Chains A and B, each alone.
Chain A
Amino acid sequence: MKFLKNVVSQLHVYVLWALISVIFWAWIFTMVNDAPQEKKLVIFIYGPVQEKDLSVELEKEMPEGIRMIRAHSFDYVVFGNGELETADLYLVPENEADGQSKMFCPLTPEVAASLLGASAAEEGALWKKDGVIYGVRAKAAGGSGPFPEQIGYDPAQTYYLFFSSLSVHAGDLTQAPDSTAFELARRFLPAR
Chain B
Amino acid sequence: MHNKRMNDSMRQLYSAEEIPVLEAREKRRRAVCLAAAGVTLAVCVACCLLANTANMSLMEGTAIGASILGGWFVLYTRKFRLLDTRHELAHLRRMLDGDKAELTGEVQLTGERLRIKNSILVYPVRLADAVRPRLLYVSAVRGEEFRKALGGGKKRLAMQLVSNFITAWSEAEAAECAAAGAGTKAETAAGASSRNTEAESTGAARPAGAGREDV
- Please, which residues of chain A bring their CB within 8 A of the CB of B75? 10, 13-14, 17
Complex contact A29–B60 (CB within 8 A): yes
Complex contact B67–A56 (CB within 8 A): no
Asked if B71 is at the interface of the complex by the 8 Å CB criterion, the answer is: yes
- Please, which residues of chain A bring their CB within 8 A of the CB of B80? 6
Complex contact A25–B63 (CB within 8 A): yes
- Please, which residues of chain B bring their CB within 8 A of the CB of A68? 53
Asked if B35 is at the interface of the complex by the 8 Å CB criterion, the answer is: no
Instruction: Please count how many residues in chain B sit with their CB below 8 Å of the partner chain's CB atoms.
Output: 19
Instruction: Please count how many residues in chain A sit with their CB below 8 Å of the partner chain's CB atoms.
Output: 22
Assess A17 versus B53: contact at CB under 8 Å? Given A10-B76, A26-B60: no
Complex contact A29–B67 (CB within 8 A): no
Asked if A118 is at the interface of the complex by the 8 Å CB criterion, the answer is: no
Complex contact A21–B60 (CB within 8 A): no
- Expressed in whole angstroms, the Cα–Cα distance for A55 and B59 within the complex equals 17
Complex contact A25–B44 (CB within 8 A): yes
Query: Which one, A6, A22, A33, A69, contacts B64 given CB within 8 A?
Result: A22
> Closest residue of chain B to A29, judged by CB?
B60
- Please, which residues of chain A bring their CB within 8 A of the CB of B63? 25, 28-29
- Expressed in whole angstroms, the Cα–Cα distance for A59 and B51 within the complex equals 14
Residues of B within 8 A of A (CB): 44, 48, 51-54, 56, 59-60, 63-64, 67-68, 71-72, 75-76, 79-80
What would 18 A/B residue contacts be, using CB atoms closer than 8 Å? A10-B76, A10-B79, A14-B72, A14-B75, A18-B68, A21-B67, A21-B71, A25-B44, A25-B60, A25-B64, A29-B48, A29-B51, A29-B56, A32-B51, A33-B51, A52-B53, A59-B52, A68-B53
